[in-house]
Amino acid sequence: MTIVMTGGGSGGHITPLLAVAHELKEKQPGAHLVYVGQKGDSLGDVPAQDPNIDQVYTVRAGKFRRYHGESFLQHLIDLPTVFKNLRDAVWVIVGTWQSFWLLRRLRPDVIFVKGGFVGVPVGLSAALLRIPYVTHDSDAIPGLANRIIARWASIHAVALPKEVYAYPADKTVTVGVPISRKYHPVSAKQQHEVRERLGLEHFGKIVLVTGGGLGAKSLNEAVVSCASELLARYPDLAVVLIAGRGKDSATRKQLQKELSASDQKRIIVKDFVTNLDEYSAAADVVVTRAGGTAVAELAAQEKACIVVPHPLLAGGHQLKNARVLADRKAVRFVQEDVLTHDHRALMPALTELLDRPERAKQLAKKLASMAHPDAASHLAMVLLEVAAKHEAPARHVQKK
């Protein structure tokens, strides 16, 4: 059995895909898993290093740039963006041609489209070749790539109740957000053990700040601005900042200007880590974006979270995610525009949760109640069922 898996552009697409790959290998050890990524993806090396992925290919894919909150006229007069969109339309055509011949050669039994722009050429080619595929949406608002290829999908797997989505009800199934088994509730003993492994055992409190695999400039700048006051207020505190690939050096230089040599050791800056689950397990409070995958992972660990949604992502899906969570009193919500104008806007939320552990625990439990720990297993079963339906007619034709 051959299964193609595609998605990329962010860790929020790649990490769920790899979680499903792990489940597929457990349920169907003989399955041949092929990852198709976008040429030039900065996180494309992550699937290539995963032991459950047997082969990796890349194809061209375009990106349709549009920004939440901008009017049609603003989009029209933004000539650099218009030019890039036209250029990338050509890449979609090229990528579809590449995907068509690749899929024709591989002849997979099913394709899993997690999201990201690479899903468009792969999905369109699959439709032309009549290869079944399953899409997945982690957010309340489906991504554009999945919406473009939606009409030919066999199944739409979604994170939230299917009534939230505009997909046909008979082709939609709620599975939650697939996450690695590494994300699970963390006891006090386990937290201490992971702190020892990371060399953080001598700190009494730990805050993790992460903007995802690509990082978030606003969060990095907020940490720099808050660092001095935060460290003075909590002498036993350490802050772990996942700055994003290529952003760690500039952040360290800024911190060197703001902090003494001893305090600099308490702000631990990383560019990108493959063991984020350990750093989040070690943390008392996590500051994060509001992507569906990130939130699902932290919900599984029962972590107190401060979410800062990216406001410009298409459709405002992170804003919607954050509002749903905040309305259910599952997270503390800080708006990006507020943080941009005042980098210290994180301080009230941080001090509230660090000063009041009972409040942090309430948030964590509420967020955990929304978790779907079996999402990856459920989605793997959906893919295998679709593949089996595809194989059956083929065997019938061969017998004739």
| pLDDT per residue as tens digits for the range 336-373 | 889 888 888 999 999 999 999 999 999 999 999 988 88
Answer for the pair 133, 111: CB distance below 8 angstroms, yes or no: yes
Strand-pair category, 205-210 with 155-158: unpaired
Top pLDDT among 372 and 314 is at: 372
pLDDT in tens, 164-187: 899 999 999 999 999 989 999 999
Tell whether 183 is covered by a domain: no
Longest dimension (CA), the chain: 79
- Taking CA atoms, 83 is separated from 66, 67, 281, 315, 343, in Å, by 13, 15, 44, 21, 33
* Cα-Cα-Cα-Cα dihedral sign, residues 134, 140, 143, 147: positive
What is the distance between the alpha carbons of residues 342 and 171, in angstroms, rounded to a whole number? 45
pLDDT at 286 over 60: yes
30 and 150: one domain?
yes
Same domain, 217 and 165: no
Residues 25 and 50 in one domain: yes
pLDDT digits (tens, 9 = 90+) for 21-72: 999 999 999 999 999 999 888 788 889 999 999 999 999 987 765 555 555 4
In this prediction, residue 296 carries a pLDDT of: 93
Residue 226: pLDDT above 70? yes
Q: Are 187 and 163 in contact (CB under 8 A)?
A: no
Q: Which CATH number fits the domain that encloses residue 37?
A: 3.40.50.2000
Quote the distance between the C-alpha of residue 197 and its chain's center.
25
* pLDDT surpasses 80 at 312: no
Domain match, 213 and 314 both: yes
Let me know whether 377 and 364 are in one domain.
no
pLDDT, mean over the chain: 88
Asked if 9 and 38 count as a contact pair (C-beta separation under 8 A), the reply is yes
Q: How many CB atoms lie within 10 A of CB 130?
A: 8
Please state whether beta strands 237-242 and 285-288 pair in parallel, antiparallel, or not at all (unpaired).
unpaired
Residue 205 lies in a domain: yes
Q: How confident is the model at residue 390 (pLDDT cuts 50, 70, 90)?
A: confident
On whether both 30 and 156 belong to a single domain, the answer is yes
Percentage of the chain modeled with pLDDT above 90: 61
CB 29 within 8 A of CB 61: no
At 400, the pLDDT band (50, 70, 90 cuts) reads very low
Q: What is the mean pLDDT of residues 266-271?
A: 92
In a domain, 74, yes or no: yes
Q: Which domain holds residue 112?
A: 2-178+373-399
- The answer to whether the beta carbons of residues 158 and 138 sit under 8 Å apart is no
Mark whether 235 and 293 lie in a shared domain: yes
Query: What sign does the CA torsion over 75, 78, 84, 90 have?
Result: positive
- Contact predicate 145/119, CB 8 Å: yes
Least-confidence region, from 17-21, 114-118, 282-286, 388-392: 388-392
State what percent of residues in the chain have pLDDT above 70. Answer: 90
pLDDT at 79 (0 to 100): 64
Q: How confident is the model at residue 247 (pLDDT cuts 50, 70, 90)?
A: confident
Q: Are residues 232 and 174 in the same domain?
A: no
Report which of residues 215 and 295 the model is more confident about. Answer: 295
Instruction: Note whether residue 139 is domain-resident.
Output: yes
Count of domains forming the chain: 2
Categorize the per-residue pLDDT at 319 as very low, low, confident or very high, splitting at 50, 70 and 90: confident
Query: Does residue 12 sit in the same domain as residue 144?
Result: yes
Identity at 359, one-letter amino acid code: R
Residue 299, pLDDT > 80, answer yes
My answer on whether 321 and 275 are in the same domain is yes
Please provide the distance, in angstroms rounded to a whole number, between the alpha carbons at the two ends of the chain.
21
Give the residue from 131, 112, 91, 76 showing the smallest Cα distance to 3: 112
Of 10, 330, 6, 20, the closest CA to residue 179 belongs to: 20
Instruction: Tell me if 306 is assigned to some domain.
Output: yes
Asked if residue 303 lies in contact with residue 330, where contact means CB atoms within 8 angstroms, the answer is no
| Token pair belonging to 310 | 């990216």
pLDDT of res. 318: 84
Name the amino acid, one letter, at 131: I
Q: Which residues pair with 173 in a beta bridge?
A: 157
Same domain, 16 and 164: yes
Q: Per the domain annotation, does 258 fall within a domain?
A: yes
| The predicted structure's pLDDT at residue 214 | 60
Highest-scoring range by mean pLDDT, 94-103, 139-148, 257-266: 94-103
